[in-house]
Amino acid sequence: MSSLLDQDIAHIRRVMPLSLAGDFGGPILAPSYWRMRLHQLLATGHVNKGQLADIDSLLFQIELHELNAASEEAASAKHAVGNGAGRR
């Protein structure tokens, strides 16, 4: 079981950053999908300390991604308001 969890964690570690980076349309798979996958691994009840640390790190990456996306969205909205404010 531990080997399967290690393989799942390694797979998620490889593909999640690429998926979250996505393309011009946004992430390929939403952060909620990756969070669900990681929580499913935790729910097995067979996670050792090293795996728990890896999963925690991946969950943190998702949080950082969401914070960065929210900051970019807020900056974009502020920029749009600022550009339209002086025009009449």
Class of residue 38 by CB neighbours under 10 A (exposed 0-12, middle 13-18, buried 19+): buried
pLDDT at 88: 52
The pLDDT of residue 2 is 87
Domain span holding position 22: 2-85
Total domains in the chain come to 1
| Backbone φ and ψ of 46, nearest 5° | -115, 25
The pTM for the full model equals: 0.82
User: What's the pLDDT at 33?
Assistant: 98
Averages of pLDDT over each 10 residues, the chain, 88 residues: 94 97 90 98 96 98 95 83 64
Q: Write out the two tokens for 8.
A: 């799942």
